[in-house]
């Protein structure tokens, strides 16, 4: 199956811009909708006229109605993505992440969009000590952000039941790669560590550094999205997107330091409030149902990403 026409919400952001690029390269007509709150025009500038850029907000129902018309697939990547920001301002992140998602789904069902692929998060698992984290485990959202992502999954399922809209929700683990914005204190740890390493500055590790994460390359996240958009078996389902492997934050810094030829000692600070200790995905479901195989090995992915910083 080829995707003739796609809309990517949040398409000027980190993950969305890689997705827009991949879709364009495989011949789809791509529209990007982004309000540039955390996305940047320069993330898609290199795509030229290959993608149509629309500056606007996912809460704008009229705009969404126009943009969803004629799309086979809508990739919903727009969100207030920071857990910490959702803790500081739960109302704002709720408006964007929940109301915005309902508006996207509503525009899709009104316009007969074939499928909606939605960005969910491993945050929905919370601090469940059971590892690896599998879709069959009961969710335990601990932050407004996690509640909002889980709510989005439930809306997706309800829209399937009520209107026959095909949806797929992808629970991203910790995504990394070029164009991940390092500028906020809540940015992904790899973007922060790389910026520090390149600048020759010591990073801060919150806690003792033994906490673990499953870091998945944005290239593999794009692969998962394309499979979710095109495989019949994906409809109506929720899948983890990770590698099935974990690394401890202290070891992550060691590798980045090696790649950047620095051996700065990290500064240790108290653990961040609400931080999860261990996170690793079970990718059995997406592997068996969609044939997903993570292709980017962490060390190689980090080396490729470092070139960007
Ligand atoms: C969390 C969510 C993820 C969400 C992301 C958005 C979980 C499991 N994951 O990621 O779904 O998309 O927030 O913000 O809830 N760290 C340092 N030094 C730094 C920065 C981070 O030691 O300078 C540590 C953190 O304390 C944490 C780890 O690195 O233990 C990863 O942090 P981060 O990259 O912010 O991601 P999560 O909090 O795992």
Q: Is the CB of residue 119 below 6 angstroms from any atom belonging to ligand 1?
A: no
Structure tokens, 15? 């993950």
Cα–Cα distance for residue pair 233/283, rounded to 1 Å: 16
| Structure ipTM | 0.92
Strand 212-213 with 247-248, pairing: antiparallel
The residue extents of the domains of the chain are: 5-174+216-241, 176-213+245-306
245-282 pLDDT per residue, tens: 999 999 999 999 999 999 899 999 999 877 889 999 99
Q: What φ, ψ does residue 300 adopt, rounded to 5°?
A: -65, -40
- Mapped onto helix, strand or coil, the DSSP state of residue 201 is coil
Structure tokens, 162? 């009520």
Q: Which atom of ligand 1 is nearest to the CA of 175?
A: 12
Beta-carbon contacts of 2 under 8 Å, excluding residues fewer than 6 positions away, are 26, 27, 28
What's the pLDDT band for 230 if we cut at 50, 70, 90? very high
| The pLDDT value given to residue 186 | 78
Which single residue is written with the structure tokens 């995707």?
A: 3
80-104 pLDDT per residue, tens: 998 889 999 999 999 999 999 999 9
The closest residue, in CA terms, to atom 9 on ligand 1 is 123
Structure tokens, 253? 């810094």
Beta-carbon contacts of 138 under 8 Å, excluding residues fewer than 6 positions away, are 128
CA of 242 to the centre of ligand 1 (A): 15
Which residue among 13, 38, 83, 126 has the greatest number of ligand 1 atoms within 8 angstroms of its CB, and so is best to mutate? Answer: 83
User: Domain 176-213+245-306 - what CATH class?
Assistant: alpha beta
125-167 pLDDT per residue, tens: 998 889 999 999 999 999 999 999 999 999 999 999 999 999 9
Among 176, 200, 203, smallest CA distance to 192 is for: 203
| The pLDDT value given to residue 84 | 86
4-35 pLDDT per residue, tens: 999 999 999 999 999 999 999 999 999 999 99
CA of 276 to the centre of ligand 1 (A): 8
Q: Is the CB of residue 205 below 6 angstroms from any atom belonging to ligand 1?
A: yes
The closest residue, in CA terms, to atom 22 on ligand 1 is 205
Q: Is the CB of residue 139 below 6 angstroms from any atom belonging to ligand 1?
A: no
Percent of the chain whose predicted confidence (pLDDT) is above 90:
93
Q: What is the pTM of this model?
A: 0.97
The yes-or-no answer on residue 145 being catalytic is yes
Annotate 93-161 with DSSP letters as a single string: HHIIIIIHHHHHHHHHHHTT-SEEEEEEEGGGGTT---SSB-TTSPP---SHHHHHHHHHHHHHHHHHH
Helices and strands counted in the chain (H then E):
11, 13
| The pLDDT value given to residue 274 | 73
Assigned architecture for domain 5-174+216-241: 3-Layer(aba) Sandwich (3.40)
| The pLDDT value given to residue 184 | 78
């Amino acid at each position: 199956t080829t995707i003739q026409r796609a809309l990517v919400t949040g398409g000027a952001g980190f993950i969305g811009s890689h997705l827009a690029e991949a879709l364009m390269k495989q011949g789809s007509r791509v529209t990007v909708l982004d309000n540039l709150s955390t996305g940047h025009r320069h993330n898609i500038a290199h795509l030229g006229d290959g993608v149509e850029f629309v500056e606007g907000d996912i809460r704008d129902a009229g705009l969404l109605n126009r943009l969803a018309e004629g799309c086979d697939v809508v990739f919903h990547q727009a969100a207030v993505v920071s857990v910490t920001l959702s803790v500081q301002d739960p109302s704002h992140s709720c408006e964007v992440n929940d109301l915005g998602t309902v508006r996207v789904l509503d525009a899709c069902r009104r316009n007969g969009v074939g499928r909606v692929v939605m960005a969910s998060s491993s945050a929905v698992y919370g601090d469940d000590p059971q590892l690896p984290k599998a879709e069959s485990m009961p969710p335990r959202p601990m932050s407004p952000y996690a509640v909002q992502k889980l709510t989005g999954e439930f809306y997706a399922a309800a829209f399937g039941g009520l209107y026959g809209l095909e949806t797929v929700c992808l629970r991203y683990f910790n995504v990394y790669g070029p164009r991940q914005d390092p500028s906020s204190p809540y940015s992904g740890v790899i973007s922060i560590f790389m910026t520090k390493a390149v600048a020759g500055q010591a990073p801060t590790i919150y806690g003792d550094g033994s906490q673990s994460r499953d870091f998945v390359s944005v290239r593999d996240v794009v692969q998962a999205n394309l499979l979710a958009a095109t495989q019949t078996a994906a409809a109506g389902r929720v899948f983890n997107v990770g590698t099935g492997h974990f690394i401890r934050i202290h070891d992550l810094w060691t590798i980045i330091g090696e790649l950047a030829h620095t051996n700065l000692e990290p500064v240790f600070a108290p653990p961040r409030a609400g931080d999860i200790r261990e996170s690793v995905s079970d990718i059995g479901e997406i592997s068996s149902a969609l044939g997903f195989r993570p292709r980017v090995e962490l060390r190689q992915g980090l080396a490729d990403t470092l070139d960007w910083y």
